[in-house]
Structure 1
Amino acid sequence: MSTFRLRLSRLLLVTAASALMAGQASAASTKIVYGNVTEMTLSQVPMVAAKRLGYFAEEGLDVELMGFKGTGTLMPQMLAKRVDIGYPNPDTLILSRAPGKEKLPIKYFYNATRSSGWEFAVLDDSPLKSLKDLNGKTVGVGAMTFGNVPITKAAFKDLGVNATMVPVGVGSAAFLALTSKRIDVLNLFDAQHATLEAEGTKIRRLPQLPRYEALFSNGFVAHEDMIRDKPEVLAGFGRAIAKATVFCEANREACVKLFWKEYPNTKPSGDEAKVLADGVKIFSARFDKMLSFPTGKPRQWGSFDQKVWLDFAEALHEGGQLEPKTVDVENCYTNALVPKFSDFDAAKIVAQAKAFKD
């Protein structure tokens, strides 16, 4: 055989072997279906960043991102194991632990939004100044299945407020309901209200009761079977999210751009500089709550504080949503994987973020 043919033969063998190895690597990756409680919005920037920056792939994960209409529609999919990891509010899980209720075999494994992401927004010229003023008023919520509804009911009961809650969706439909004064107040999450402001509508946020404002919001949950059988998959997922959170803190603009690359139809038109500045503002409305760690202490990504769970249960009880006053909140979450979430070089991620070119 000639030297040329010998080299060509070797090259073809190497190419075929490389292709085979790539195919095996792809086949070896674990497919994960992630369910958000709304359509994917800028509040989900770290999730998209983890995907586009390759952090999920580094953990051997192939993550599909899906949106649902509230916790009430997400949970059945998780119970059927069609969705592997979800991002709901905790109240539904706590309520399922009450005596006589069917215990949902779902558990939190990562605390993502570490303080409340829910707000009450009114038009800037509204006469309403506090939650007590909502007596007899109409409150717009995304859907009656949204995870904030039980806590909102609890807050109203706490204050003796009798208000009517109506579903208005999210985005433009919800914004129109407020601006047309079909509703008196909009009870959605932070990023939605920041979006409304970015579109030019002046709004005010009514002060929350301190006990409810301090409650954590969404976190990552999985079926108890998955936590038992595939802890390394969940550890890798959480570590990828922690990396993305560090990256986005160091370069928020880059992360917003990454989101728009994944979901180009969500990027508004207009002046690029203003669009980006507004995008960062909307993203930061939720993202800052992901960084609500105790001051002066090392960050423990994904960690839960048992006291906050007890406070959550007590708030639901006093609001008339939960009976009795205490339930087994320890059964709602696990901190077992927390040490693995922080098992990466944060300084390296920061350097990557600062040097990142889109």
Structure 2
Amino acid sequence: MNPIPNMLRTAALAATLFSVATALQAEPLKTVRIGYPPAWSAVEAAIPFGDTLGFFKEEGIALEYVSVQGTAILLPQVANGSVEFGIMTPDLAIIAASKGEPFPVKFFYNFYPRNIFEFTVLENSPIKSLADLKGKTIGVGALSWGNLPMSRLMLSDVGVTWMKDVKVLPVGVGPAAWERLKSSSVDALNLPATQNVMMEQAGTPIRRLELPEEFRKVFSNGIATSNELIQSNPELVAGMSRAVSKSIAACMAATENCVRSYWKIDPSSKPTADNEAQWVRTFVAVNQGTYTIGELASLEGKHGVYTESDWKNIVQKMKDGEQIKSADFDISALYTDRFAKDSNDFDIEAVRAAANAAQP
């Protein structure tokens, strides 16, 4: 047999594949906006890490980071398509749906399958439980934050009525918020776990008030997009789901590389050389702490997945706490599990290898 024709066919096939690959690489990336309240930072380093590792580009996505002050602002922007994807709590979407006025959005990715918001006090505070907050002042990030309906419900469950038995003040996040606690202008803070780890790392001893187990298990932030985008470009949503899962897996595998890589997304965030070690320790602790509280390490093969029982649970809790008048509405208007398979369709060992090999 003459090997020349086979060699020519092989060469021709290689040339064809090269041409196809080149054409694919030449395809312009689709720029999509991803919103997060209150602001992007190394507090949430996973998605930016995946961005630097090329996970989103592999899906044809170029990310544009958008920061807003709360779910109440972000949810309408996702609904009208001015922001394609939003990371937020589901409370406000549930309230709207219960009134028969659902936003035209669906949550498609369960980002934190456990509650990551906490009530914290100074370590030497006489406040020992949620019930002890009666007559006190609580600082929250902003009155537009989407976690507040669930916070109201937790307090109501122990006999503390929101804005009646307890005063609620918007204090923002970061050092300004922590100073309000340290100066006793608020008695407690109701912020995400990321903020509390950072406060500890900055040298403020705090204590977390115990949350009822039934509330701790309620999922927190998810990723939502518009119904229109799901219908018109499901491949984009599937690619987003997969890239997010890869990003989270990568950050859990190599958290120091993950937080250092944030400097590529926001060069202004890089600290001075004398502050670099502490900066890295802080944000490694923040990200690892969130993964622990969110129980993300147990999600291999189940990243991003919502179940009907998850949603029935949170809806019923909001009904019991009188946050909504009725739980008798179609919860399928709130979420979709259509992209669950896509969220887990990747080689996790290859992702971990890429994370560990990253050069921040």
- TM-score, structure 1 length as denominator? 0.88
The answer to whether residue 101 in structure 2 is matched with residue 102 in structure 1 is: yes
Change (3 A) 1:167 1:76: same
1:278-304 deviations in Å (ceiling 9; x for gaps): 220012222334543668xx5222111
- Whole-Å Cα distance in 1 between the matches of residues 137 and 281 of structure 2? 33
Partner residue in 2 for 1:248: 251
Structure 2: segments with no counterpart, 5+ residues? 1-20
Partner residue in 1 for 2:16: none
- Whole-Å Cα distance in 2 between the matches of residues 194 and 26 of structure 1? 43
- Partner of residue 349 from structure 2, selected from 347, 350, 354: 347
Change (3 A) 1:24 1:302: closer
Partner residue in 1 for 2:216: 213
- Whole-Å Cα distance in 2 between the matches of residues 187 and 221 of structure 1? 23
- Whole-Å Cα distance in 2 between the matches of residues 288 and 55 of structure 1? 24
Partner residue in 2 for 1:72: 72
Does structure 1 retain, via aligned residues, the 8 Å contact 2:43–2:283? no
Partner residue in 1 for 2:28: 28
Does structure 1 retain, via aligned residues, the 8 Å contact 2:33–2:64? yes
Which is further off, 278-287 or 160-169?
278-287
Partner residue in 2 for 1:223: 226
Does structure 2 retain, via aligned residues, the 8 Å contact 1:177–1:183? yes
Does structure 1 retain, via aligned residues, the 8 Å contact 2:114–2:217? yes
Structure 1: segments with no counterpart, 5+ residues? 1-20
* CA apart distance, 1:128: 0.3
Change (3 A) 1:342 1:180: same
Counterpart residue type for residue 34 of structure 1 = I
Counterpart residue type for residue 346 of structure 1 = I
Counterpart residue type for residue 345 of structure 2 = D
1:229-282 deviations in Å (ceiling 9; x for gaps): 111001111111111112112111100101133224444554543332222001
Partner residue in 1 for 2:5: none
Partner residue in 1 for 2:287: 283
* CA apart distance, 1:26: 5.9
Q: How many residues align?
A: 336
- Whole-Å Cα distance in 2 between the matches of residues 263 and 285 of structure 1? 22
Identity across the alignment (%): 32
- Whole-Å Cα distance in 2 between the matches of residues 206 and 267 of structure 1? 33
1:45-67 deviations in Å (ceiling 9; x for gaps): 11101211111111111110111
Change (3 A) 1:357 1:293: closer
Partner residue in 1 for 2:322: 320
Change (3 A) 1:80 1:229: same
* CA apart distance, 1:356: 2.8
- Whole-Å Cα distance in 1 between the matches of residues 140 and 270 of structure 2? 24
Which is further off, 162-171 or 258-267?
258-267
* CA apart distance, 1:38: 1.0
Change (3 A) 1:35 1:277: same
- Whole-Å Cα distance in 2 between the matches of residues 290 and 160 of structure 1? 27
Look up the SS of the partner of 1:97 in the other structure: helix
1:209-236 deviations in Å (ceiling 9; x for gaps): 2111111110110001111111100111
Partner residue in 2 for 1:260: 263
Counterpart residue type for residue 31 of structure 1 = T
The answer to whether residue 44 in structure 2 is matched with residue 44 in structure 1 is: yes
- Whole-Å Cα distance in 2 between the matches of residues 67 and 211 of structure 1? 31
Counterpart residue type for residue 276 of structure 1 = V
Change (3 A) 1:271 1:78: closer
Does structure 2 retain, via aligned residues, the 8 Å contact 1:94–1:327? no
Please identify runs of 4+ aligned residues in structure 1 that moved more than 6 A.
Answer: 21-24
- TM-score, structure 2 length as denominator? 0.88
The 5 Å alignment of 1:330-345 reads: 330-345=332-347
Look up the SS of the partner of 1:188 in the other structure: strand
- Whole-Å Cα distance in 2 between the matches of residues 93 and 45 of structure 1? 26
Partner residue in 2 for 1:16: none
The answer to whether residue 135 in structure 2 is matched with residue 133 in structure 1 is: no
